[in-house]
Amino acid sequence: MRRTAIAVPATAVLLAVAACGAPSENASEAASGEDTLVVGATAVPAGDILEFVDAELAAGAGLDLEIVEFSDYIAPNAALDEGQLDANLYQHAPFLDEFNEGNGTDLVSVQEIYLPPLGLYSNKVDAVEDLQDGAEVALPNDPTNEFRALLLLEEGGLITLAEGVDEATFSLSDIEENPKDLEFREVEAAQLPRSLDDVDAAIVNNNYAQEAGLDFEEDSILLEQVEGNPYVNVLAARADNADDPRVATLVELLTSQETAAFIEEEYAGSVIPVTAG
Q: How far apart are CA 189 and CA 141, in angstroms?
A: 7
pTM for the full model?
A: 0.83
Mean pLDDT of 231-260: 98
Fold match, 2-116+230-273 / 119-223? yes
pLDDT at 19 over 60: no
CATH number for the domain formed by residue range(s) 119-223: 3.40.190.10
Nearest to 112 by CA among 225, 247, 252, 274: 274
**What are the boundaries of each domain within the chain?**
2-116+230-273, 119-223
Neighbours of 235 (CB within 10 A): 26
**What pLDDT is recorded for position 47?**
98
CATH number for the domain formed by residue range(s) 2-116+230-273: 3.40.190.10
Mean pLDDT of 205-232: 92
Q: How far apart are CA 108 and CA 14, in angstroms?
A: 17
Nearest to 251 by CA among 274, 228, 271: 274
The answer to whether the CB of 113 falls within 8 A of the CB of 232 is: yes
pLDDT in tens, 189-213: 999 999 999 999 999 999 999 999 9
